[in-house]
């Protein structure tokens, strides 16, 4: 019994503190549409999942947002988003999250959930655009 509890705890503690190693398909999306519509959806999706916008640079296609602290991570997370046009009328959105915690091993999957929630919000906003 004790070994099982220790094994589960070890798995939870080894969860990644960022999403850069997640498969690309889980942290990227492609959308067709107008540049302004895609950019506005990218900004609005930050709010949709309850994050605070830190900065946005439309000319560089970058957005940074911060997620509040949780009981597992008292310092919160940052979401980094890059929006770029890959061909005329087609845009790629890449999202990555990482913890602000000094202990980079304690994340409990929160970074991955932030990215998945963000991309789900983007999908919802851009359904039917094209």
Q: Indicate if the pLDDT at residue 10 is higher than 50.
A: no
What is the predicted pLDDT for the residue at 57? 97
The 3-state DSSP class for residue 41 equals helix
Q: What is the mean pLDDT of residues 88-114?
A: 82
Nearest alpha carbon to residue 22 among 109, 124, 82: 109
Structural domain for 107, as ranges: 2-126
Q: How far apart are CA 51 and CA 49, in angstroms?
A: 6
Helix/strand/coil for 92: strand
Q: Are 45 and 24 in contact (CB under 8 A)?
A: no
User: Which residue, among 69, 67, 71, 74, has the nearest Cα to 115 in the 3D structure?
Assistant: 67
18-77 confidence digits (pLDDT tens): 777 778 889 999 999 999 999 999 999 999 999 999 999 999 999 999 987 665 555 688
**CATH number, domain with residue 102:** 3.30.310.80
Number of domains comprising the chain: 1
Q: Does this model's pTM top 0.75?
A: yes
If pLDDT is split at 50, 70 and 90, which confidence band does 9 have? very low
Task: Judge residue 93's burial from the number of C-beta atoms within 10 Å of its C-beta, 0-12 exposed, 13-18 middle, 19 or more buried.
Answer: buried
């Amino acid at each position: 019994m004790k070994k099982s509890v220790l094994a589960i705890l070890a798995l939870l503690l080894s969860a990644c503190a960022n999403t850069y190693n997640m498969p690309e398909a889980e942290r990227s999306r492609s959308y067709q549409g107008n540049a302004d519509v895609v950019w506005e959806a990218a900004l609005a999706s930050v709010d949709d999942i309850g994050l605070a916008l830190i900065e946005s640079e439309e000319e560089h296609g970058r957005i940074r947002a911060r997620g509040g602290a949780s009981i597992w991570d008292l310092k919160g997370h940052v979401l980094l988003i890059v929006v770029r046009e890959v061909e005329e009328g087609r845009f790629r959105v890449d999202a990555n999250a990482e913890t602000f915690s000094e202990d980079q091993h304690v994340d409990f999957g929160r970074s991955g959930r932030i990215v998945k929630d963000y991309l789900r919000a983007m999908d919802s906003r851009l359904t039917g655009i094209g």
